[in-house]
A and B are shown apart, each in its own frame.
Chain A
Amino acid sequence: MKTIEEINHRIKKGKVVVLTAGEVKKLARKEGTKEMANKVDVVTSGTFGAMCSSGAFLNLGHTSPRIKMGGGKVYLNDVPAYTGLAAVDVYLGATALPDDDPRNKDYPGEFRYGGGHVIEELVRGNNVRLSATGYGTDCYPRKRLERDIDLKTMGDAILFNVRNACQNYEVGVNLGDRPIYTYMGMLKPHLGNANYSTAGELSPLLNDPYYKTIGLGTRVFLGGGIGYVAWHGTQHHPEVLRGENGVPRSPAGTLALIGDLKQMSREWLRGVSFRGYGATLTVGIGVPVPILSEEVLNYTLVRDEDIFAPVIDFSEAYPQGKDEVLCEVSYAELGSGKIQVGEVEVPTASLSSYFKADEICHILKGWIEEGRFLLTPPSAPLLGVESGVRFGHNP
């Protein structure tokens, strides 16, 4: 048994032993888990995928004369931001689109530029065009404002993503007879392809399935900078069916993450477009799992062949809100490039990058080894299986 305090002490002394989620599984083939649990202090997990419930609170700064954008309208590079806050605070959501974007009128729409792309431009250091209107008050008389702004000149810029790092995810297929354009990418008719989206055995919440170490206040790698777990994410659903290894067999836990956008980087916050579906943000996340006990270590040894995801028909079952699962497949099968659905062999594609997730694991490992990143004990645990929390459907 170890404590986070002891691990931090070892980090400061330069004696910490950190393995990535990929490395720890390889080592487990050679060594016993008892010795490993003593030796290894931290396992770094990671994921890099499109996460729509992301966005940033931006404080756009005051001007002379002042303008109250709250209750007015704000656009950044023509993408609208939410203004139902104080005078110059706005929230720019990843999926926001310019008013004149044709959306799906010319089906399938391209969604080339949205809130996620504005966030990427900001972290690149680019100027974005702020266009604001207010209704004018005695203390905020200005009614219009047009100017270029950048991240440096903003008061605050806080990335606050209310649902990230989903613990397991569905596999999308199309049983229909025309191509469909979904948040799982383009799905070809008659089981033409199967798309999935998690980093599997590298993914944060799959390496700590019961949230034994990850909790509120856990310090993480977020968008290339440092962030924190703010809360459980929306649609956090710990009570789903789990395997014997504790791994959920369908989407379960989620994280709400927060961090200072100003120290994040373009490489790990990327505006992306899903044809026919919308624009969003691809977010890089890395979570350290402190190896406090042999039990915690054992969870990090989970392999792709032990993680199962439900295959869902996106032509009928998903849009109609029917709980129909065609079959379950392991991430090892998904990663092999093809899965078997009934009689049909279906080629697979990932929407989340395993390659980049592994890179995040290594970066976070480096930060910890260099003493630049200390672990934080959670202030409170995430809602776990015992909470009975269920994320339900309304008719």
Chain B
Amino acid sequence: MDISHRIVLHFPRRLVDQPIVCSLVLDYGLRFNILKAQVTPEEEGLMVMELWGEEESYQKGVDYLARIGLKIQPLSHDIRRDEEKCTHCGACVVLCPSGALVVDPETRRIDFHHEKCIACELCVKACPPRAMEVCF
């Protein structure tokens, strides 16, 4: 059975130049979607990604990450949209850095693609009807 999780990876300085994500794909057959990444040479790195694949492979992949010295955390909080509150204005769209909040070009409805959300919270306070909520 396939599973999918959104996780935060902390790279120690010694590992930032290693092709680690590549190993997840080649050695463990996992798929990934990078939501946010800040990995610069000679510094500690941070990456938020959605990772999915077979449950067993997933577990093996995550074990591999831990073994080589990455710190792994689940994405600690999540952003939800209260559908009843949303007025579909679009104030959030220009603030969303990951393309999770977009205007449907046909209907001009505001769509929230939860899987693209990096939980940066920029939309939360900018939302006039306060429809975007942080869940812990």
Contacts and interface: CB of A to CB of B under 8 A. Distances in A.
Interface stretch (A4-12, A66-74, A350-358, A376-384): A350-358
A352 B108 CA distance: 11
Contacts of B110: 353, 355
Interface in B6-27: none
Nearest to B85: A270
A291 interface: no
A349 B107 CA distance: 15
B129 A270 contact: yes
Contacts of A186: 91, 95, 126
A274 B92 CA distance: 12
Contacts of A48: 87
B111 to A, nearest CB: 10
Contacts of B125: 110, 275
Contacts of A354: 108
A338 to B, nearest CB: 10
Contact of A112 (B85, B95, B107, B130): B130
B128 A272 contact: yes
Given A347-B94, A348-B94, A355-B108, A337 B103 contact: yes
A195 B130 contact: no
B5 interface: no
A349 B94 contact: yes
A352 B87 CA distance: 9
B83 to A, nearest CB: 12
Contacts of A355: 88, 104, 107-110
A228 B39 CA distance: 60
Interface string B78-98: 000000010111111111000
A347 B107 CA distance: 19
A353 B87 contact: yes
A298 interface: no
A337 B126 CA distance: 18
Given A193-B94, A337-B103, A351 B128 contact: yes
A259 interface: no
Interface string A245-273: 00000000000000000000000001111
A245 to B, nearest CB: 22
Contacts of A356: 87-88
A348 B105 CA distance: 13
Give the interface size class of chain A: 20 to 34
Interface string A269-283: 011111100000010
Contacts of A110: 125
Given A195-B94, A347-B94, A353-B87, A271 B129 contact: yes
A176 interface: no
A225 interface: no
A112 B110 CA distance: 22
B93 to A, nearest CB: 5
A59 B109 CA distance: 38
A358 B108 contact: yes
Interface in A265-323: 270-275, 282
A351 B89 contact: yes
A87 to B, nearest CB: 35
A282 B126 CA distance: 15
A388 to B, nearest CB: 35
Contacts of A274: 128
A353 B128 CA distance: 12
Nearest to A187: B94
A233 interface: no
Contacts of A192: 94
A217 interface: no
A185 B91 contact: yes
Given A50-B128, A272-B129, A335-B108, A351 B103 contact: no
Interface in A93-108: none
Contacts of A49: 89
Contacts of A335: 108
Contacts of A351: 89-91, 128
Nearest to A280: B128
| Interchain residue pairs A-B with the least CB separation, the first 4 | A272-B128, A354-B108, A193-B94, A349-B94
Interface of B: 85, 87-95, 103-104, 107-110, 125-126, 128-130
26 contacts: A49-B89, A112-B130, A185-B128, A186-B95, A186-B126, A193-B95, A270-B85, A270-B87, A270-B129, A272-B87, A273-B130, A282-B128, A347-B93, A347-B94, A349-B90, A349-B91, A349-B94, A350-B89, A351-B89, A351-B128, A352-B89, A353-B87, A353-B108, A355-B110, A356-B87, A358-B108
